[in-house]
Structure 1
């Protein structure tokens, strides 16, 4: 009897091995993921991670199967691998909403550059995922899709703004996910959903076809269940794009080979990791105390894996730099208005129009603040000082690392646990008050990876963030992989258990 392939926690390597052996077809793989979405996203716990399914998914799977059957060769390094895309990414033939009710029904004429690159690598876009309106929240709240649940605790939020990608990949609705990160929108939901999330140096991945928030801070990136899959996915995302001048960064980075090259369980041996204690919450707060307990246990795992943990490391004026170099309210209105004005098919072509017509979720305090911001960044008399301060911030952080001989900095992604729905509905947290540490890497233009750090006694995931100097993504993966292998904290959520017979052999 032919062995049945199980999709839960399956990796790229698992799937490709099953394709080659004849145990699995792309069609049966897609059908298995669609069955999980039906069972757990729209029914069962109602995770609400998926906003739109690709209507041609099964036809595209059949085409990939025919290509493999005809040549015996994969069409690319991601052949037949189903991907969830944050709905910030334009997809020809698949509705793209940017999380906003004002874009409901919008069908882009062309794919975003990253979609073109994924398809060229052989990937299959399975679905688009929920997100808050125009990525303006750390939480999942959206005028279009409502709230997305955390599959590890359905009474808690999935995080934002890559909410559906985080919850969907955690619940095994696809093999891989792509999110977008301006201030932490990949790493916050990765932390909340026990995933690996990667923010690269801005410019390594094209932003053409993605709605912006702060144009020079935005980047797409991997959200996966393993570090290896994140590295393999990033291989297909990076590259120069004439449509995005910031991708000149690829020429500076000059990365060769796969980001998966050199991954080793010994990757932490002899490495110096600096702990930013100022980025941990007060032990008087039970939510922060729970995070700190998991984080401290993860530090012991770093030591056991051979790292030298330098604790603490002080970044001078850290709180001031984080606050002063935040440019959302100053810059986002201009960037969004430019993007919207280029898409006349939309019902509202400016932030002002959306705000005036009240076509946004009322809980989105950042969107409201952006609507009240200047039309042009230069209208803020502090704009250029704030922008220059970002370079000073980066120099400060890199100099601290150099002064201590550090390979990376580390801290919890977020100082508190994923908020409960009740906490968000009563206003305990807003986007502008939420204590996330992800802004450190974002506002210094440095790469960062979130790796599962463990669980609280109640089974709530916590993420640990590692930060390296600009363009040193290869080191991030080596360090993150070694921590992952030393701890193995990834596990399937109880709210989305394994289904029965899921994926069979190729017809």
Structure 2
């Protein structure tokens, strides 16, 4: 059956209603997405967002359709929902490449815990998406897949490191996607591609089976077109996992009501939003000015919906963000621990990639990581950096308390998506690109990006909402209210 409605704005609730009414089946939906992948990702605009595509997805969908026909019930909260997954998260039925040319056709023995949870909920893993080698860039540059195109402007980058997930979901090649976020790798590409991207408090979602970058900061998370879909995915993905000691965080977060249910009655009336203008673009830069204009219009919309905007300041923000960064201190140890536990992948260490030249030439962060210590304690500043992170957290929580702030807002990046020319001409590198997503990451706070609107030349701009640790229910509720007040997301024209 041919699906008559547009796929690029379909939601989980829409799909489930269609399955139950007989409008279309899970098999119809999978086939329709596979057709779009062929027409948009492999040919036509050739977004290059997927590394591999499942050859069993149609069979999985048929099985789910039979179960629905037999029982009259959906098998789970994600029954028949096609999902694309960033290829640093392990899947037993598809190769997991970590974006690296050196990984061959490595197939792990089992799914990552987060993937197993999605499958148990009825989701269909449609394919694995592009990323820079081992998630070490704000851009899509990968030794495995080359570059991925931004569906809103094919000459521009979709952002990284969850590049392919962002491009695929934005272009309607899957209903929802999974990314990973250490310093902003969900939120930055989501902002460049007009999506909702959620970073949770680290530990709410198991990282077992997901390659590390900075272990205390790493987390998987949803990348979707709506807040409601992000909440539905989060309900499935969270929980304690003995294979990841950091998921003890689930005990602190508690069970409580579902995240999806917390969206009911969402409103901005009486909500106090802290506006962090230190993170706003330089208005004298033409690109920055376009971002600032879009964000200011979004703030006006939030105020019109009943929110009270309060200007807030974080002392020495840039200095604290710089000093609490652990990439060049800790990443090499965490990354090497991960790959050394997977000898079948053929990558003994990050230094091996550098020494053999098996990495993309534009990965300055990977080079900087390997140039750093193999043991983080060999950095004489390591203990001070970790202690500074705790002090940074206390300061920002204090600012929120003193001002009775519910969330803090700022643009995800000070510039719109860069062109490939700017990246390859070294106008921007990973270490110099002005992203604000590292703020929440290095605070270990949850944050969500929402489409704030588009610049005058049609590029999406993301507005980030940052909350206190374990405040995901409130964060999602406020995000849903903000989403309703902001300009509606516009799908790319492809």
Does the Cα contact within 8 Å between 2:3 and 2:28 map onto a contact in 1?
no
Does the Cα contact within 8 Å between 1:265 and 1:481 map onto a contact in 2?
no
Does the Cα contact within 8 Å between 1:4 and 1:23 map onto a contact in 2?
no
The corresponding residue for 1:301 is 301
Deviation at 1:475, TM superposition (A): 1.1
TM-score, normalised by the number of residues in structure 1: 0.96
Does the Cα contact within 8 Å between 1:266 and 1:305 map onto a contact in 2?
no
Distance 1:218 1:77, change over 3 A: same
Does the Cα contact within 8 Å between 1:265 and 1:486 map onto a contact in 2?
no
Does the Cα contact within 8 Å between 1:202 and 1:218 map onto a contact in 2?
yes
C-alpha distance in 2 between matches for 1:210 and 1:353: 20
C-alpha distance in 2 between matches for 1:220 and 1:2: 33
Does the Cα contact within 8 Å between 1:135 and 1:213 map onto a contact in 2?
yes
SS at match of 1:212: coil
CA deviation digits over 1:277-309, x for unaligned, max 9? 110121111111111000000000110110000
Greater mean alpha carbon deviation, residues 224-233 or residues 261-270:
261-270
The corresponding residue for 1:203 is 203
The corresponding residue for 2:152 is 152
C-alpha distance in 2 between matches for 1:355 and 1:489: 44
Does the Cα contact within 8 Å between 2:452 and 2:487 map onto a contact in 1?
no
Alignment of 1:52-131 (within 5 A): 52-131=52-131
Does the Cα contact within 8 Å between 1:5 and 1:23 map onto a contact in 2?
no
C-alpha distance in 1 between matches for 2:408 and 2:255: 22
Deviation at 1:236, TM superposition (A): 0.4
Please state if 1:388 is matched with 2:390.
no
Deviation at 1:67, TM superposition (A): 1.3
Alignment of 1:347-358 (within 5 A): 347-358=346-357
C-alpha distance in 1 between matches for 2:304 and 2:24: 39
Does the Cα contact within 8 Å between 2:8 and 2:170 map onto a contact in 1?
no
Greater mean alpha carbon deviation, residues 479-488 or residues 168-177:
479-488
C-alpha distance in 1 between matches for 2:426 and 2:46: 23
Alignment of 1:169-318 (within 5 A): 169-264=169-264, 266-310=266-310, 312-318=311-317
CA deviation digits over 1:298-330, x for unaligned, max 9? 0001101100001x2100111111000000011
Greater mean alpha carbon deviation, residues 57-66 or residues 235-244:
57-66
Does the Cα contact within 8 Å between 1:104 and 1:144 map onto a contact in 2?
no
The corresponding residue for 2:477 is 478
SS at match of 2:428: coil
Q: Which consecutive residues of structure 1, in runs of 5 or more, have no partner in the other structure?
A: 496-507
Please state if 1:492 is matched with 2:459.
no
Structure 1 moving runs of 4+ over 4 Å: none
Q: Which consecutive residues of structure 2, in runs of 5 or more, have no partner in the other structure?
A: none
Deviation at 1:477, TM superposition (A): 0.8
C-alpha distance in 1 between matches for 2:208 and 2:195: 26
Distance 1:153 1:368, change over 3 A: same
Please state if 1:421 is matched with 2:412.
no
CA deviation digits over 1:402-438, x for unaligned, max 9? 0111001000000111101111110011111111000
CA deviation digits over 1:450-488, x for unaligned, max 9? 000000111000000001110001111111111111124
Deviation at 1:256, TM superposition (A): 1.5
Deviation at 1:356, TM superposition (A): 0.4
CA deviation digits over 1:247-284, x for unaligned, max 9? 00000011422212232565211000011111012111
Alignment of 1:406-417 (within 5 A): 406-417=405-416
Does the Cα contact within 8 Å between 2:3 and 2:24 map onto a contact in 1?
no
SS at match of 1:128: strand
The corresponding residue for 2:453 is 454
SS at match of 1:409: strand
Kindly tell me the number of residue pairs found equivalent between the two proteins. 494
Does the Cα contact within 8 Å between 1:183 and 1:439 map onto a contact in 2?
yes
C-alpha distance in 1 between matches for 2:347 and 2:98: 13
CA deviation digits over 1:15-67, x for unaligned, max 9? 00000011111111000000111111111111111110012111111111111
Greater mean alpha carbon deviation, residues 478-487 or residues 129-138:
478-487
C-alpha distance in 1 between matches for 2:8 and 2:136: 31
Deviation at 1:104, TM superposition (A): 2.7
Please report the RMSD computed on the Cα atoms of aligned residues, expressed in angstroms: 1.2
The corresponding residue for 1:39 is 39
